[in-house]
């Protein structure tokens, strides 16, 4: 599991930062990529990346401001041309887009005006607070933010993984590898040929807890941030302004780097990554944002365009040892 920041700027692109788009790369977990916001020229950023558009199966839009959606029609259109690149000559896979009211109308209006005919289906899901996607592997929840328009943060939770089969214990019982091991791995109660009954759960190691990623963009302070980020392994949080511009941040519905750190600490997150940086913070000025945040939450980093952060799998089921900065 990896986070790749395709764009880390706020409002408008700059020479150093494109506007917002984040790719959650789930290549090992399900051979998919999920995008969070698709700012202008996201398709160009992907050309500089190893992330492939055809792998994108889900897109989550936080809100309808242009720096978060203007790249969406272009991305969808470029992805449409990938059918000829597929080995089997088939069409690109379908895409599901989650977002606030008006998103479907916006996308279809642009595609219709440009006379684009997609080879694949777009499924739109209008977001409401709560769980918006869930299967056996992941759950995604939406939390309302405070930005002046309908706006959501997203919390991605990986389901716990069943512990490893303790093969040595089974071999000591005289069992041999085969279909029986599969039943035991599934936690079933199994009766052996010698009449002994064993519970498969007794031969499994501790469950491996799933990872949690929270993505909080474009919002001023609200209690919902803490709910979205609770015990997150990684909290991605907007830091449009520094603490010296807190009044301006509040006026425009944004957060400072200091507020992001306070939210990370209050939520008992493990790691904080700052993004959505105003173009006024160039070069070393951006380092000041990190310095302000680290005074409150030590494990703080600032994202740069095309930077990738690895989110390693957890090794134990202990969830109480959380670094709170």
270 annotated ligand binder: no
317 close to 215: Cβ distance less than 8 angstroms:
no
Whether residue 276 is annotated as binding a ligand: the answer is: yes
Q: Which residues does 188 contact at the CB level (< 8 Å), separation at least 6?
A: 200
Cβ count within 10 A of residue 284: 7
- 65 has binding-site annotation: yes
Q: How far is CA 231 from CA 4, 24, 321, in A?
A: 21, 18, 10
Q: Is 100 helix (H, G, I), strand (E, B) or coil?
A: coil
Ligand-binding annotation for 320, yes or no, is no
Longest dimension (CA), the chain: 75
Active-site entry in 67, 151, 233, 305: 67
- In terms of Cβ atoms closer than 10 Å to its own Cβ (0-12, 13-18, 19+), residue 152 is buried
What is the C-alpha to C-alpha distance for residues 109 and 137, in angstroms, rounded to an integer? Answer: 34
For 29-52, letters b (16+ CB in 10 Å) and e give eeeebbbbbbbbbbbbbbeebebe
Selection from 55, 12, 25 nearest residue 211 by Cα? 25
135 an active-site residue? no
- On whether 263 is known to bind a ligand per the annotation, the reply is no
CA distances from 44 to 79, 270, 305 (A): 12, 32, 12
Say whether 238 sits in a helix, a strand or coil. Answer: strand
63 annotated as belonging to a binding site for a ligand: yes
67 is in an annotated binding site: yes
Residues identified as active-site: 67
State the binding site.
63, 65, 67-68, 147, 218, 276
State the binding site for Zn(2+).
63, 65, 67-68, 147, 218, 276
């Amino acid at each position: 599991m990896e986070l790749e920041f395709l764009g880390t700027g706020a409002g408008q692109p700059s020479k150093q930062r494109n506007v917002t788009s984040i790719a959650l790369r789930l290549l090992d977990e399900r051979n998919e990529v999920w995008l969070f916001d698709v700012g202008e020229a996201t398709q160009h950023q992907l050309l500089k990346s190893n992330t492939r558009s055809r792998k994108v199966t889900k897109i989550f839009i936080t809100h309808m401001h242009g720096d978060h959606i203007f790249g969406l029609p272009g991305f969808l259109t470029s992805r449409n041309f990938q059918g000829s690149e597929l080995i089997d000559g088939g069409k690109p896979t379908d895409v599901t887009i989650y977002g606030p009211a008006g998103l479907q109308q916006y996308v279809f209006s642009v595609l219709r005006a440009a006379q684009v005919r997609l080879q694949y289906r777009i499924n739109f899901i209008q977001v409401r607070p709560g769980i918006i996607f869930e299967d056996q592997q992941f759950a995604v929840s939406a939390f309302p933010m405070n930005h002046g328009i309908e706006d959501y943060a997203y919390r991605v939770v990986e389901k716990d993984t069943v512990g490893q089969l303790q093969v040595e214990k089974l071999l000591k019982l005289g069992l041999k590898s085969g279909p029986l091991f599969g039943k035991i791995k599934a936690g079933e109660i199994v009766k052996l040929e010698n009449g002994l009954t064993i519970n498969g759960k007794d031969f499994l190691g501790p469950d491996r807890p799933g990872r949690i990623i929270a993505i909080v963009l474009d919002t001023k302070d609200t209690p919902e941030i803490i709910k979205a980020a609770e015990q997150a392994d990684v909290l991605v949080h907007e830091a449009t302004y520094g603490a010296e511009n807190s009044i301006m941040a509040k006026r425009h519905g944004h957060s400072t780097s200091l507020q992001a750190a306070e939210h990370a600490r209050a939520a008992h997150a493990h790691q904080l990554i700052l993004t959505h940086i105003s173009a006024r913070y160039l070069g070393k000025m951006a380092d000041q944002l990190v310095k302000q945040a680290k005074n409150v939450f030590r494990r703080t980093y600032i994202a740069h365009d095309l930077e990738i952060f690895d989110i390693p799998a957890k090794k134990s089921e202990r969830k109480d040892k959380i670094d709170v900065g």
